[in-house]
Amino acid sequence: MIKTIFDLVKIKITGGVTSMISFMRGREAKTTGFSFGTALILSIVIIAFLFMMVFSFGLAMVVGFQMAMNNCLWLYYPLAFVVSTVFAFVGTVFAAQSYLFESEDNELLLSMPIKPSAVLVSRILSLYVLNFVYSTIILLPVGIAHRFLFRFKGLSVTNDIGIVFTYVLTLLIVPSLATALSCILGYVIGKISKKIPNKGILTVIFGFTTIAILAVLGLNLGPIISALINYIDAIAISVEKYLPLLYIYGVAADAGTALWGIIPITVLSLGLPVLVYQYLSINFLRLITKKTAPKKKKYKKEQMKKTNVQISLIKKEIGYFFSIPAYVMNAGMSTIMAVFLGVGILMRGAEMNEWLPKMFPDAASSLMPLAVGSSLALCCTLNDVTAPSISLEGKTIWLLKSTPINPMKIFWGKAILAPVVSLPGVLFTSITSALMLEMKVVDVLFIMIIPVLACLFSGFLGVCINLRIPRFDWSTEITVIKQSLSVIITLLVSMFFTAVPFVLAIIPAAYLEDFSTVTSYGLCIIYFALLIGLEIFYLNTDGKKIWDTL
Amino acid sequence: MLKIQNLTKKYGDKIAVDDLSLEIHSGEIYGFIGHNGAGKTTTIKCCCGLIEFDSGEIYVDGISIKEDPLECKRRLSYLPDNPDLYGFMTGIKYLNFVADIYSMGVEEREYQIHKLSDMFGITEDLAQPINSYSHGMKQKLALISAFMHKPKLVLLDEPFVGLDPMAAHRMKEEMRNACKEGAAVFFSTHVLEVAEKLCDKIAIIRDGRLVLSGTTEEVRGAASLEDVFLSLEEDND
């Protein structure tokens, strides 16, 4: 049984990693060797990991230093424990539901002579591995920082073995607790989603709420850290008084003495997953085999409508977009960012009206629309909705290819989706800018038109790039949406090309006295129109030929 | 209606279809038989412009698929062996989408969709998302979309797979009706009994090459189609 569990965990983990690498390698995935795609993606992943670790290290040093100064370094590990548990939990909560209950091989495994309990244990352990990766991003730099802080405190490392022991134990128990929590929430989400007709809505709402909370925390990180440092004594007293479990753990982890203090938190962290396992194992078979049929809606014959092919294709793309929560969350980030920008302008618009003229007395009126327009356009480039759209045709591509549709109509249908998705954010921010930033009509028009053009540019770019590196061998849409090389390339290239005209316009606007904003608006519009024209030309020539070979 | 001239299609070094020629006239039901990997699906995909081919020519209603693929596609409909449809759409939305592509008028689409969906017994399910359909229901929906715009040429790849006996019977009826109205039907199948009873003409393909073709009577001679097919396979072994 242990070997079976080990094999199942290995299959799950290696399958996930192989699929990720394979998709990021683009079209050459069937070949072996180290492709450009692999190199690019591995570089991005490594840089992202390093960035997060360096960031964690910096935070740990700043907060830990204050703790050491206030003689409460024992609070260091409890805080790291909580933060890393939350980080891992948030990172894996969506995976929990799919790992536990929606794995495609569930029925296959159950038809084999494998105990359902072995399948469940393997799923929980796979989730544990994922949580381990997430929590290590925080805990590894935290451990390194602790060594520096310990020496700063002027203490000799007499209980080195004790410290290392508790640290290693922390590395192991944090993912265990996070796994239990994500299993519980995954189970609850699954239960609720079965009761509502469109479970995708729940995922999107939950996803965006999480992102919004993280964004608010991220934007207020400075004040939060300041408060943490300023009130460190009060926090330490409260933890000591009300959370003794964390206190005794903190003392043991910090000094490497009184090691009995780590027993309660270890029991909790290891015991909770066992309880979760016990509960899930009772219902596991029912949970993974029960199919809740949606309430059947009977078709009533009614008058149909004839629609233009182009409109029909656009409607099809919109329908597909809203049917996949991960797609909405990925591409919808641009709208969320644009709305954040709009909210920021609503809240701080008055300050900006005072602050900018002080910094640039002669250029404030020119700079404001350029700054808002460029920020909004850059938000729009986060909209990668078209970058996986050719790949997403997958096994249904025969439908478009065997019917009399000009491929350009298909490309337009996909590209238009980008401005459609971003439009709510653009409109909202344009209106808040008009209300709060004392802009002229021409300025407001500019900050409405430019982001739409930037969207259309990135929309067509996504189609062009995805045509070059499509992948039709996916098993779930999420793989294509989140891991395609075309998505990453589209994001990077569209950001670069969108930033260029603004950098070129903002610098002279800030320093040239007789700078004409209307001219810069015109040049920006011409710039994007030219880029879009080039993309359309490419699609109309090479793009059509590539489409025929797909 | 469909003229295939010296069609050759290679996948790398492997020749999938080798110098194949066939002609299918209006009003004919033409069966295409062969073992797994013989080249049936590749031939059909070439005919509907789904894949490019290395040499030869394919004409649909006298129009070259290479020269004017869109005009050819306006005249034909194609159904793959495993029709993956847009799962996020409801059945009725999907049929309307296809009707829009073929520029069907409102009255015409209403009549055809309701007639065919009644015939295949899935009218009540048209408001359901395709994701919730069984394999057979998807097959029926795909068949409705293939026949509803009255194509001149119907290309079907293993159309009987997954259909219940009643639906298979209805489909045969619809194939005959389409032919009576002047269309041509070209389909691949492994069900030799069906081919024998349904087809006006039959072609047998082996390793990409056409080994036998003609009217059903000519092909089977005094034996059954199964005997003919098996003897050809044994000769090959």
pLDDT digits over B185-199, tens only?
Answer: 999 988 888 888 888
| DSSP structure class, residue A501 | H
Residue A24, pLDDT score: 62
Residue corresponding to tokens 């009644």 = B118
| Residue A337 CB coordination number (10 Å) | 22
Q: Over B51-93, what HEC string results?
A: CCCCEEEEEECCEECCCCHHHHHHHEEEECCCCCCCCCCEHHH
Burial of residue A465, with CB atoms counted within 10 A of its CB: 0-12 exposed, 13-18 middle, 19 or more buried: buried
Give the best-scoring range by mean pLDDT among A12-21, A183-192, A424-433.
A424-433
Mutate to test the interface with B, among A298, A403, A473, A544 (most CBs of B within 10 A): A403
pLDDT digits over A331-370, tens only?
Answer: 878 888 888 888 888 888 777 777 777 777 666 667 778 8
> How many angstroms separate the CA atoms of A508 and A341, rounded?
24
> How many angstroms separate the CA atoms of A516 and A505, rounded?
10
Instruction: Yes or no: say if A543 and A464 are a contact pair by the CB < 8 Å rule.
Output: yes
pLDDT digits over B99-129, tens only?
Answer: 999 988 888 999 999 999 998 888 989 998 8
Using CA coordinates, name the residue in chain B closest to A296.
B128
Contact (CB<8Å) B93/A319:
yes
> How many angstroms separate the CA atoms of A372 and A431, rounded?
12
Q: Could you please report the per-residue DSSP string of A18-52?
A: HHHHHHHTGGGGGS-S--HHHHHHHHHHHHHHHHH
Residue A467, pLDDT score: 92
Instruction: Yes or no: say if A81 and A170 are a contact pair by the CB < 8 Å rule.
Output: yes
> How many angstroms separate the CA atoms of A121 and A100, rounded?
9
Instruction: Yes or no: say if A248 and A75 are a contact pair by the CB < 8 Å rule.
Output: no
Instruction: Yes or no: say if B153 and B62 are a contact pair by the CB < 8 Å rule.
Output: no
CA distance A105 to chain B (A): 19
Residue A289, pLDDT score: 73
**Which of B 75-104 lie inside 8 A of A, CB atoms?**
76-78, 80, 82, 84-89, 91-93, 96-104
Amino acid at the residue A305 = K
pLDDT band per the 50, 70, 90 thresholds, residue B59: very high
Contact (CB<8Å) B106/A308:
no
Query: Cβ contacts (< 8 Å) between A308 and chain B: which residues?
Result: 100
Residue A414, pLDDT score: 93
**Residues above pLDDT 90, as percent of chain A:** 16
Instruction: Yes or no: say if A134 and A179 are a contact pair by the CB < 8 Å rule.
Output: no
Asked if the model's pLDDT at residue A515 lies above 80, the reply is no
Angle subtended by helix axes A36-69 and A76-100, to nearest 10: 150
Q: What three-state secondary structure class fits B145?
A: helix
> In the structure encoding, which two tokens stand for residue B26, read together?
């209006």
Residue A123, pLDDT score: 87
Of A321, A319, A320, which is closest to residue A332 (Cα–Cα)? Answer: A321
Residue B144, pLDDT score: 93
Instruction: Yes or no: say if A434 and A513 are a contact pair by the CB < 8 Å rule.
Output: no
Of A64-68, A81-85, B78-82, where does mean pLDDT reach its minimum? A64-68
Asked if the model's pLDDT at residue A284 lies above 90, the reply is no
Asked if the model's pLDDT at residue B214 lies above 90, the reply is no
> What pairs with residue B58 in β-bridges?
B4
pLDDT band per the 50, 70, 90 thresholds, residue A437: confident
> How many angstroms separate the CA atoms of A233 and A237, rounded?
6
Mean pLDDT taken over chain A: 82
> What is the ipTM metric for this complex?
0.85
**Which of B 19-48 lie inside 8 A of A, CB atoms?**
48
Of A542, A379, A376, A548, which is closest to residue A465 (Cα–Cα)? Answer: A542
B49 touches chain A (CB under 8 A): yes
Task: Give the closest of A296, A300, A306 to B100, CB-based.
Answer: A306
Between A188 and A288, the more confident residue is A188
Mutate to test the interface with B, among A201, A295, A306, A400 (most CBs of B within 10 A): A306
Asked if the model's pLDDT at residue A371 lies above 90, the reply is no
Residue A199, pLDDT score: 66
CA distance B45 to chain A (A): 9
Residue A118, pLDDT score: 84
Asked if the model's pLDDT at residue A155 lies above 60, the reply is no
Task: Give the closest of A303, A307, A323 to B100, CB-based.
Answer: A307
Contact (CB<8Å) B127/A399:
no
> How many angstroms separate the CA atoms of B232 and B235, rounded?
5
Mutate to test the interface with A, among B97, B98, B158 (most CBs of A within 10 A): B97
Burial A203-219, CB ≥16 within 10 A → b, else e? bbebbbeebeeeeeeee
> How many angstroms separate the CA atoms of A459 and A474, rounded?
22
Helix, strand, coil share of chain B (percent; to 5): 45, 25, 30
A3 touches chain B (CB under 8 A): no
